[in-house]
Amino acid sequence: MGINSILAFAFGLFLLYIVGILLVIPIRLIVKLIINGVLGGILLLIVNLIGSFIGISIAINPLTAIIVGIFGIPGILLLLIIQYIL
């Protein structure tokens, strides 16, 4: 085993590490988006339950859940403005 073999092995491990990092980052983003979408759907459900007393409702679908999941309470306000004003 010469120095060339050792350097090639080290370089291969380094490339494997870089590829692993590049694959993990998008997976984290997708998982975060899914979790935020589920939490957004739950928040929409709560708003619909409470809003049913005063006549406010927002349709629960993947798009509205993701909007609320990303923006939170301002997302709900945005959906209400879009629904009732536009």
Task: Answer left, alpha or beta for residue 59, where phi above 0 means left and psi between -120 and 50 means alpha.
Answer: beta
pLDDT attached to residue 1: 64
Nearest to 74 by CA among 29, 50, 43, 28: 43
pTM for this predicted structure: 0.66
Q: Which pLDDT score is estimated for 49?
A: 92
CA distances from 81 to 20, 29, 57 (A): 43, 28, 12
What's the pLDDT at 73?
84
The CA-atom distances, in angstroms, between 68 and each of 10, 28, 41 are 46, 19, 8
Q: Total structural domains in the chain?
A: 1
- The range of the structural domain enclosing residue 16 comes to 3-84
Q: Which two tokens stand for residue 68?
A: 């609320």
Per-residue model confidence as pLDDT tens for the chain (86 residues) = 678 877 888 888 888 888 888 888 788 888 887 888 788 888 888 888 998 898 888 888 888 888 888 888 888 889 889 988 87
Alpha helices of the chain — where are they, by DSSP H? 3-51, 62-71, 73-84
